[in-house]
Structure 1
Amino acid sequence: MSLRWVLLLWLSLLLGCTALTLPPNRPLARPVAFRGAYEEFPSGLRLVVHEAPHMSRVTMNVSYRVGATDEPSGKEGLAHLVEHLTFQARPGGEKAPRLASLLLASGAEFNAVTSYDSTDYFFTAPPEQLPLLTALEAERLRDPLRHVTEEDFRVARDVVVAELRQRYETSPEGAQQRWLHEVLLPSHPYGRTSGGTPESLQRLTLEDARAFVQAHYTSAHVVVVVSGPKPADAMRSTVTQGFAELTLSGKSGPSKPVRREPPPFPAESRARAPRVVRSGPVEHPRLWLVWTVPGLYSGMTPQAFAAEGMLNNRLATQLAREEQAHGSSVTLEVLDGVTLLVARVDLMKAEDAEDVADLVLDQLVDLYGNPGRLGGLTAAARSSLLTEAFRSLEQFPAREAARFLRATGEPDYVQGWPQQIREGLSRDLGPYLYKYVRRERARMLLMVPEQAGSGRATVAERFAPLAGPEDFGDEERSLPPGASDARQVARPPGLAQAERFILGNGLQVVALRRTGMPLLEARLWVRTQTPTTEGALSLSRLAVHGSYMSAGRKWYHGAKVGARTELQLREEGQPVLSVSAPSGNLVHVLEDMQQWMWDAEVELRPFEAVQDWQVRQLEREASSSDVLAERALLSRMFPGHPYGLAPGVEEAKRFTASQATKWVKEELNPDRATLLLVGDLPPAPKLRTLVSEMLGRWRGKGGRVEPPPVPPLPRRRQVVVLDRPGASQAELLVGVRWPELSAQEDAAASALVWLLEHRLDRQLRERLGLTYGVRVGHEARPRASLLRIRAAVERGAAAGALEQLLAELGTLEAELLPREVVELARWQVARGYDLRFQTSAAAAERLLELERLGRPPDFWETYPEAIAAVTPEAVQALVRKLGLGSEAVIILGDAATLRPQLESAGYPVEVLSRSTQPKQER
């Protein structure tokens, strides 16, 4: 459960508030026109071109009208396997590089996805790479499995089986989504498992794959969507030339595009279906309620999104008052023929399932039974969806544009989707809710924690680490000439062009203009004193949220103009208010900020609501092993330091509204604040005047904020088992400390993250079969950095996997990696660099990062130089800065099995249970 639950309790009171003399409380944004072209070729191939001058990269999506619903009976998983196999093709000949290697060498970020309804291949790359990449995608269409061998097929099938097991056997969400389809849609095309089963995959042959592509990988099945900064005519010409004869009519004349006849809408059940109960990999009982509503081809997708938002808000409001649930969410799965509206509630006890289900279903009755209020809610949903539509256009959703074309025949997604929103939500949602989201149409699935299982017995071994390029897979990874210069694809993002000025009250303003879309991203960050005790951390949380809610009772425009607002305390315990809104609503955004900062009084009722929420949240977190694992890690990584603190229940209970008010007056002052604005902003003089008028009267002087002390390094390695009795899997979470890193070291850390993840995945997953995947990340904080490694393994392999992981780090410390391996890692970092800044929201976060970490304004402009300078020596020097030997290892799993195994391998073990609160190391 999040603070959103509490905020919604109060926002419902705001509709009656008197508005200020401001522009209308609705989304205000200049129209966005479709600048592009559409063509349907004689071969049946369709092309949509979208000109987006604001984009730094070109994006292409090649969508094939074939998915899991098109697989022959008994050959489930074939569509997904074919997707993998196409990357193994060798367009240039038997000994030539594979398609995946050619895409990698281009500097593109690329991937693919197979759904029930389509298979999509997509990439984003520097604009000058469009001709090459178009030619490669044309080769995929021309001969999808060229020179794919039986051995290629076997390896790809094994990878897909492992991916399937990861999705359905180790991921609670994946397994439950599969069961929802099976329970809700029996004997329906959407009721089969997307991706198949290990058994169905093992039955497939290379000849099955060849027959499948011959039937479905044709020009008439394809929609190509390309978006980029070049003129539309130039991109259209490039794509047409690249696909060449694939755009022409065949021997029998022109072909019509393959039209989609989606699977039928499921038949209506005459009686309420009984609740289905299953056991599975969940920590708490989980209740699912699902409704089938019309799919994409119905044209009623906006209504489905509006229903999702309304139900989500209602559940958040109601369940916040109850003691029966940890939290809830509502999501949509939009398919061509049907959409699934899915509500999920994590229960305290399985016995409460019926009561909570009734509470959820009562919300629906209240919604469509109150037409007066429903009109306002529908208008708010329309505003929110229109704002989200603008936000999506910043990084043009090429896959959604292809789906929209197939469903509507309309190539103009830019104006077509917003128009569908306006028309679909032009009247209240009552009739739609009554028809499709009634109580009796709900289908229920209750997941209860599975009983203890034995798991797979795997003997822990010591594995010899390797130090050469052989650790990086079998596929060719040829790079283009000059790839040692990562600046070919990693380019300065232009964040240093942001205007900076300081108001008379000390408020710092950073403004970056991005004129592509009528959007605004705002971040208000206040540098408060770093909390040094659990009590101080609890008070800051209470005071920040209490003061914001107190101001919000009187003034709140964000929800009415479709803005997305979030108030967080970041890692250092300092508040950041984030707002996404149409650019024409800048004055509304500033007005809300002004009212929050003007009103320092924390009122009793909002404070009590926040305090009640925080106490309940902390009590519930005490039973979450994931939360406890994170706290155990941080307390051991940052011993005796504010970064290792966690708020406590008793501390949250003892504070008062007057103490919160005192904290606000001392800490939330303009001379400690920075306002970051990114997007379609007014000209500089007008912006300065507006910000000064709205926030210049914010008064107060907080004085100097002392930076957090340098965190001491942990003194020793610690291995902690957080007990999950009977769990067949063990989740390893390993943290290793660095000091604060320079720009050059940060770039080397990015390369090391890729190297470690790829190396460990190769060793633990592909060679030894101990895990379905490894995740490595780098987290920068003021005065410290943290390397995180996470992997899920069979519990019998925990000690062996840990030994292998630590041995790999030791090898990187002791031996230089080959230059070509580091060059590959550097290229991988460079390929994704531009994506860090693609949207206004991403740019705002990167600017905020500069402020939080005290980095210079040109940090991101010079970062490509730092990437290009990463060498084997730099990587080794960075590894030697790690606190090797003082790692924190947190393992979530069955302590009765794990402890003896780990101790036999020489690791002293501390066992924690959910009733044991992690204490900070001193």
Structure 2
Amino acid sequence: MTQTKRSSTRLMLLAAALLASAAQPVALQAQQAAPVAALVDTVSIPHESFTLANGLRVIVSTDRKAPIVAVSVWYDVGSKHEPKGKTGFAHLFEHLMFNGSENAPGDFFEPLQQIGATDFNGTTWFDRTNYFETVPAPALERVLFLESDRMGHLLGAVTQEKLDNQRGVVQNEKRQGDNQPYGLVEYAQLRALIPADHPYGHSTIGSMADLDAASLEDVKTWFRTHYGPNNAVLVLAGDIDAATARPLVEKYFGDIPRGPQQKAVAAPVPTLKSRLDEVMKDDVATTRIYRQWAVPGLTDKDAPALDVAAVVLGGLDSSRLDNALVRRDRDAVRVSAEYQQFAQLGFFEVQVDVKPGVDAEAVGRKLDQLIADFIRTGPTADEVQRAVTREASGRIAALEAVGGFGGKAVTLAEGALYAGDPAFYKKQLAAYAAVSPARVKAVMGKWLTRPVYALSVVPGKREAYEEAKGVSGATFAPAYYRAPAEGDQPQAAPSRLPLAAVDRSTPPPVGQIADLDFPDVQRTTLSNGIEIVYAARSAVPVTQLTISFDAGVAADPADRLGLQALTLAMLDEGTTSRSSIQIAEAKERLGANITSSASLDRTNIGLFALSANLRPSIDLLADIVRNPAFAADEVTRLKGEQLARIAQELKSPGGLAQRTLAPVLFGAGHPYGKPASGSGDPARVAALTRDDLIGFQRAWLRPDKARIFVVSDRPLAEVRAALEAGFGSWRGEGPAATKDFAVAVPAPQPRIILVDRPGSPQSLIYAGQLTSLKGADELLPVLSANDVLGGNFLSRINMDLRETKGWSYGVRGGFNRLLNNVPYLISAPVQADKTGEAIAALRQDITEFLTSKGVTPEETQRTINGFVRELPGSFETGGDVLGAMQTNVLFGRPDNYYETVAAKYRALTGPAMDQAIRGVLDPSKFVWVVVGEAARVKPQLDSLGLPVEVRTAPGAQ
């Protein structure tokens, strides 16, 4: 259950326009590419719709590629419907919807895990609240029972205790977001741009004061007012058809009575009277400049052109702002531009992170001039083409997923709810295809010449934080309320429809779920010996591949921490034949995405390519991997950007915690005793030279350390031929490097390390211990046991600190499966005044689990059922398969490993799970790191019986 902050509701299936081009090769040059306008007419998400007598709109889309069904229920209620004094109610009620209904008591995650649900959650935003899960097809009837029960039979299960608990959870969710660098910006932006009485004039998370004031009758009134079937859309997408779905939907939803009809909300686009400049102080390392306008929402005719304008300005790798401020003038370390589309309103936002030491005011003036010049001249035809192609390729992966946050169900539901048309995406596709430079210029002139909100967030001490009742700390009065609108009060609910009552005394059974059939894996080699590990997937015409090198963060030299990250960042910043801008433009014309990443054990360079452009995309990838120029001036620029990232990391609670714990557990000289981010040490990064980068590339990023993993709709022979052309002649230079895991780790020293971060409304508890396990061990029993202790929402520690005590938004514990060691880590952000009690509770929960309160029979059944039944939905997409193939090879497992795990799970017992985890965890050997305000937290820690070491956060205000 999460609030989707700062997420865009852009068109999810613009990429579908490229599906029709799969059979036609698309040339590298933009002028030879098939025009989008010629493609969109063939794009379709097949679906059927019907409406029940009570007003529930139902959409069914059939997709037989996997035996799963996405179930998505969207309610026409969001924070824009909240009256004065009730901000945050829509989101608070979303949480309450997961706490059980009259005929399905208890947490809803329990029955969802039992049936093997994947991609399940709920979100709230300005315009809607949604609940979704992807389940094995034989479990569909059980899910329809659950969703209908909380739609029509909820209020008897809503109690004061549940309200108080979820109020605390939501307030900790708010603290968790607010506690991040720049975490208070959204409140300032909404307050500045939107009038206080406007529906979009307050944050979805709400105010502490309003959350404190929420009464049991308030939330019941909210349900009666907004949660009727006539205010909802139900989408079923996957291994289902309308003929099968309709009687099931009628059975479970048909007798739910209508509620009051949601009235349309007036939400005109506001305009500032004049430019508004503000400065906010925050505990940040880098000044960030914002420029923002309120603009129309996604159903407006100007939306596509606004989106293209944002992409050209700051969304492309070769964007106007990147080229001017990052590459040319080097005044910024990061820039972006985004058009956030909501149903009735949008926000056009530009961000610039100023390079440390550069005059931020001068950069602000330069930014304003660049935006003004862009508005005056407009984009070129090539920029528009690259923007549309880039946007399309970025959406294409969504076509594989039927549910989750961005699959077919989302697209159909958004269209139905926001535009009254599930096929609204077709109109959007046509509009994107028709966007021209002149149209973009005209739309920018219409909306972006209005007065701008100009915010600068500068390093400094934050203002006092708005806290909840009963929590020490200063408060301020929130200013973003609106008056109640006519119709806000609930109407009397009509009596139940005269349909045959459903027997809700027992949930319907789950049918037989077939075991996983993992895609067949094939292998071949290039002429230089690089192995290709390949699986075919034909759902979408794309190829995804990863070149995996035996390197990783662990390969960073101890005296040059951050070298690997800088080397990877430099690869696409220029080759011996292409500049960084030429590389960026080539990727955009191809619709390709080339990325680099690293775990502690492996360094990965990935390619997402439209299969129609496979050969030129691989050629571009080969040039980047084999021929980086490492130009001296670019090395200087990229070092500055990496130093800025490190500085930001040192302002983040998570960054501070990870940087503190790793060297304590492993020792600073161990390959794993480095921060997992890989960004490195600032002094050592500053001293890196071009020769260092060349040396790292030659020693680690070389063919004899590489393996290529591929998932594609194209046959292996075709893929191999393209890879052979790009990489077959590649040879290593000089000796290869190795990692030394013989370095001894220090003896455990249980203690609390308190990293003082003044002004933190939350404390981040981050704990760990080393185990005797190796990544290649068969860890299934111990991982299953940890599912009960800390591995999922229903785990002991999460249910205690979140669902019972309400002190946290979420707690997790798990084994970090590294090749040469498997440490156990716990992450628990908690409200500051409960830090000591939270550590005490965690220690007690862990100790009892490892001694007197092991896995129960109920937990054993839930865990085994969940793991077995979720397998069909766990490898729905090519990306899922690609990741599984890499994991199998890393840990020396057979290619069909995932086809064997169901039998292994079924053979597990509770005692076996207990024995496995008790043999590797010792509750007395944890090291606890706490990132929080020492003045408030240390007195709580001193009574826990562990040594407390206080450290000052680097650069603390």
1:326–1:347: 8 Å Cα contact kept in structure 2? yes
Look up the SS of the partner of 1:520 in the other structure.
Answer: strand
Q: CA deviation at 1:611?
A: 4.0
1:27–1:383: 8 Å Cα contact kept in structure 2? no
The answer for unaligned runs of 5 or more in structure 2 is: 1-26, 473-504
Specify which of 887, 911, 916 is matched with residue 926 of structure 2.
Answer: 887
Residue type matched to 1:748 in 2? V
Aligned to 2:461: 449
Aligned to 1:132: 142
Look up the SS of the partner of 1:190 in the other structure.
Answer: coil
Given the alignment of the two structures, is residue 872 of structure 1 paired with residue 922 of structure 2, yes or no? no
Q: Deviations over 1:467-500 (max 9, x none)?
A: xxxxxxxxxxx998999xxx976943514x1221
Residue type matched to 1:913 in 2? T
CA distance in 2, matches of 1:267, 1:727: 34
1:76–1:667 CA distance, 2 compared to 1 (3 A): closer
Aligned to 1:8: none
Given the alignment of the two structures, is residue 633 of structure 1 paired with residue 666 of structure 2, yes or no? no
Given the alignment of the two structures, is residue 401 of structure 1 paired with residue 425 of structure 2, yes or no? no
Given the alignment of the two structures, is residue 677 of structure 1 paired with residue 683 of structure 2, yes or no? no
CA distance in 2, matches of 1:81, 1:601: 53
CA distance in 1, matches of 2:350, 2:96: 36
CA distance in 1, matches of 2:746, 2:924: 9
Aligned to 1:571: 600
Q: Deviations over 1:851-873 (max 9, x none)?
A: 33333322322233343344333
1:284–1:429 CA distance, 2 compared to 1 (3 A): same
2:517–2:899: 8 Å Cα contact kept in structure 1? yes
Given the alignment of the two structures, is residue 291 of structure 1 paired with residue 293 of structure 2, yes or no? yes
Aligned to 2:370: 363
Look up the SS of the partner of 2:270 in the other structure.
Answer: coil
Q: How does 1:821-832 map to 2 (within 5 A)?
A: 821-830=859-868
Given the alignment of the two structures, is residue 809 of structure 1 paired with residue 820 of structure 2, yes or no? no
Residue type matched to 2:731 in 1? R
Aligned to 2:69: 58
1:81–1:616 CA distance, 2 compared to 1 (3 A): closer
Aligned to 1:591: 619
Specify which of 324, 337, 348 is matched with residue 341 of structure 1.
Answer: 348
1:418–1:577 CA distance, 2 compared to 1 (3 A): farther
2:287–2:456: 8 Å Cα contact kept in structure 1? no
1:283–1:449: 8 Å Cα contact kept in structure 2? no
Residue type matched to 2:271 in 1? E
Aligned to 1:269: 272
Given the alignment of the two structures, is residue 188 of structure 1 paired with residue 198 of structure 2, yes or no? yes
1:492–1:783 CA distance, 2 compared to 1 (3 A): farther
Q: How does 1:151-166 map to 2 (within 5 A)?
A: 152-166=158-172
Aligned to 1:5: none
Look up the SS of the partner of 1:270 in the other structure.
Answer: coil
2:788–2:859: 8 Å Cα contact kept in structure 1? no
Q: Deviations over 1:100-123 (max 9, x none)?
A: 765555443443333332232322
Residue type matched to 2:291 in 1? L
Residue type matched to 1:633 in 2? L
Q: CA deviation at 1:515?
A: 1.0
CA distance in 2, matches of 1:118, 1:726: 33
Specify which of 305, 311, 314 is matched with residue 311 of structure 1.
Answer: 314
Aligned to 2:6: none
Q: How does 1:700-711 map to 2 (within 5 A)?
A: 700=732, 706=738, 709=741
The answer for unaligned runs of 5 or more in structure 1 is: 1-18, 460-477, 918-922
Look up the SS of the partner of 2:275 in the other structure.
Answer: coil
CA distance in 1, matches of 2:105, 2:690: 71
CA distance in 2, matches of 1:378, 1:191: 33
1:348–1:894 CA distance, 2 compared to 1 (3 A): farther
1:353–1:502 CA distance, 2 compared to 1 (3 A): same
1:167–1:175: 8 Å Cα contact kept in structure 2? no
1:196–1:48 CA distance, 2 compared to 1 (3 A): same
Look up the SS of the partner of 1:780 in the other structure.
Answer: coil
Q: Deviations over 1:363-392 (max 9, x none)?
A: 312322343x54322221101121233221
Specify which of 835, 850, 857 is matched with residue 888 of structure 2.
Answer: 850
Q: Deviations over 1:770-819 (max 9, x none)?
A: 44432334321111122221223344543332233233322222233322
2:138–2:513: 8 Å Cα contact kept in structure 1? no
1:747–1:863: 8 Å Cα contact kept in structure 2? no
Specify which of 684, 688, 691 is matched with residue 720 of structure 2.
Answer: 688
Specify which of 632, 635, 645 is matched with residue 674 of structure 2.
Answer: 645
Q: CA deviation at 1:188?
A: 0.4
1:515–1:679: 8 Å Cα contact kept in structure 2? yes
Specify which of 541, 549, 557 is matched with residue 533 of structure 1.
Answer: 557
Q: CA deviation at 1:327?
A: 5.0
Q: CA deviation at 1:66?
A: 2.7
1:169–1:175: 8 Å Cα contact kept in structure 2? no
1:836–1:346 CA distance, 2 compared to 1 (3 A): farther
1:915–1:202 CA distance, 2 compared to 1 (3 A): closer
CA distance in 2, matches of 1:544, 1:558: 17
Residue type matched to 1:888 in 2? V
Given the alignment of the two structures, is residue 841 of structure 1 paired with residue 879 of structure 2, yes or no? yes
CA distance in 1, matches of 2:99, 2:751: 43
Look up the SS of the partner of 1:168 in the other structure.
Answer: helix
1:835–1:305 CA distance, 2 compared to 1 (3 A): farther
CA distance in 1, matches of 2:734, 2:780: 32
1:770–1:793: 8 Å Cα contact kept in structure 2? yes
Query: Which segment is superposed worse, 64-73 or 192-201?
Result: 192-201
Q: CA deviation at 1:878?
A: 1.8
Q: CA deviation at 1:835?
A: 4.8
1:351–1:796 CA distance, 2 compared to 1 (3 A): farther
Residue type matched to 2:369 in 1? D
CA distance in 2, matches of 1:655, 1:101: 51
Aligned to 2:525: 502
1:33–1:708 CA distance, 2 compared to 1 (3 A): farther
Residue type matched to 2:674 in 1? L
2:781–2:913: 8 Å Cα contact kept in structure 1? no
Q: CA deviation at 1:693?
A: 3.0
Residue type matched to 1:842 in 2? D
1:524–1:578: 8 Å Cα contact kept in structure 2? yes
Across the two proteins, how many residue pairs are aligned to each other? 860
Q: How does 1:383-462 map to 2 (within 5 A)?
A: 383-396=389-402, 397=407, 398-412=409-423, 415-424=426-435, 429-438=440-449, 440-444=451-455, 446=457, 449-450=461-462
Aligned to 1:7: none
1:514–1:678: 8 Å Cα contact kept in structure 2? yes
Residue type matched to 1:644 in 2? G
1:232–1:356 CA distance, 2 compared to 1 (3 A): farther
Query: Which segment is superposed worse, 716-725 or 311-320?
Result: 311-320
CA distance in 2, matches of 1:799, 1:146: 35
Q: CA deviation at 1:294?
A: 1.0
CA distance in 2, matches of 1:510, 1:789: 34
Query: Which segment is superposed worse, 501-510 or 662-671?
Result: 662-671
Residue type matched to 1:610 in 2? L
Residue type matched to 2:768 in 1? G
CA distance in 2, matches of 1:370, 1:886: 64
Q: Deviations over 1:76-105 (max 9, x none)?
A: 44444554555556555xx97787765555
1:764–1:771: 8 Å Cα contact kept in structure 2? yes
CA distance in 1, matches of 2:29, 2:326: 34
Look up the SS of the partner of 1:298 in the other structure.
Answer: coil
CA distance in 2, matches of 1:679, 1:411: 30
Residue type matched to 1:549 in 2? E
Aligned to 1:35: 46
Q: CA deviation at 1:168?
A: 2.7
Look up the SS of the partner of 1:369 in the other structure.
Answer: helix
CA distance in 2, matches of 1:908, 1:771: 24
Q: CA deviation at 1:685?
A: 3.1
CA RMSD of aligned residues (A): 4.1
